Structure 1
Amino acid sequence: MTNGRNSEGATDTGGKVWAAPYRWGSIVIAYKKSKFKKLNMAPIEDWEDLWRPELAGRISMVDSPREVIGAVLKYMGASYNTDDINSKVIGGKNAVRQNLASLAKQVRLFDSTHYLKAFGVDDVWVAVGWSSDVLPAAKKMRNVAVIVPKSGASLWADLWAIPAASKIGTDQIGGRIRGPSPLIHQWIEFCLQSARALSFQQGVLPGAVPQALNGPIIEMPKELTKVNRPKLDTNLLAGVPPPHILNKCEFLEPLPDATVSDYEWLIRSMQTSGPGFIERLQHKMSTVIRVLQLKLHAKIS
Structure 2
Amino acid sequence: MYKKLSKILSLLLVAVLSTFAFSGCSKSTSTSSNTQKSSEEKVVNIFTWANYVPDDVVKKFEKKTGIKVNYTNFSTNEEMLAKLQAVKGSQYDVVICSDYIVEVMGKQKDVLMQPIDKANIANYKNVDTKYLNQEYDKGNKYSIPYTLGTQMIVYNPDKIKTDIKGYKDLWNPELKGSMVLVDDSRIVIGMTLKKLGYSMNETDKTKLDQAKAELKKLRPNVKVFDADTPHNSLISGDTSIGFMYGSQASAAVRANPKLKIVYPEEGMNIEEDNFVIPVKAPHKKNAEQFINFMLDGEISNAATTANEYINTNLAAKQFMSKEYLNNKAVFIPDENFKKGEHFKDLGDAAKTYDLIWSEFKQQ
Instruction: Provide, for residues 86-105 of structure 1, a one-character-per-residue CA deviation record: whole Å limited to 9, x for no partner.
Output: 2xxxxx34322221101112
Offset at 1:253?
A: 1.7
Q: Does 1:165 align with 2:285?
A: no
Unaligned 5+ runs, structure 1: 87-91, 169-177, 213-217, 271-276, 280-301
CA contact (8 A) 1:21 1:159 kept: yes
Compute the TM-score of the two structures, normalised by the length of structure 1.
0.64
Aligned to 1:108: 223
One-letter code aligned to 2:156:
K
CA contact (8 A) 1:72 1:99 kept: yes
Residue 198 of structure 2, aligned match among 70, 75, 78: 78
Residue 142 of structure 2, aligned match among 14, 18, 40: 18
Aligned to 1:187: 293
Cα distance change of structure 1 residues 211 and 81 upon mapping to structure 2, 3 Å threshold: farther
CA contact (8 A) 1:24 1:209 kept: yes
One-letter code aligned to 1:247:
K
One-letter code aligned to 2:352:
D
Unaligned 5+ runs, structure 2: 1-97, 109-133
Offset at 1:190?
A: 2.3
In structure 2, C-alpha distance between the alignment counterparts of 1:240 and 1:190, rounded to whole Å: 21
- Structure number with bigger Rg: 2
Instruction: Provide, for residues 58-77 of structure 1, a one-character-per-residue CA deviation record: whole Å limited to 9, x for no partner.
Output: 11101211112111101111
Number of corresponding residues: 237
Aligned to 1:247: 338
Instruction: Provide, for residues 224-277 of structure 1, a one-character-per-residue CA deviation record: whole Å limited to 9, x for no partner.
Output: 65x8x9x87x4x4xx1221121122222222111x123224423543xxxxxx3
Compute the TM-score of the two structures, normalised by the length of structure 2.
0.55
Residue 353 of structure 2, aligned match among 246, 255, 263: 263
Aligned to 1:286: none
In structure 1, C-alpha distance between the alignment counterparts of 2:99 and 2:195, rounded to whole Å: 29
Query: RMSD of the alignment, in Å?
Result: 3.7
CA contact (8 A) 2:185 2:354 kept: no
In structure 1, C-alpha distance between the alignment counterparts of 2:359 and 2:291, rounded to whole Å: 48
Greater fraction of residues in helix: 2
Residue 41 of structure 1, aligned match among 147, 162, 166: 162
Cα distance change of structure 1 residues 197 and 135 upon mapping to structure 2, 3 Å threshold: same
The percent of aligned pairs where both chains have the same amino acid is 19
Offset at 1:28?
A: 1.4
Aligned to 2:181: 61
In structure 2, C-alpha distance between the alignment counterparts of 1:79 and 1:207, rounded to whole Å: 24
Secondary structure of the equivalent of 1:146? strand
CA contact (8 A) 2:247 2:308 kept: yes
Q: Does 1:210 align with 2:312?
A: yes
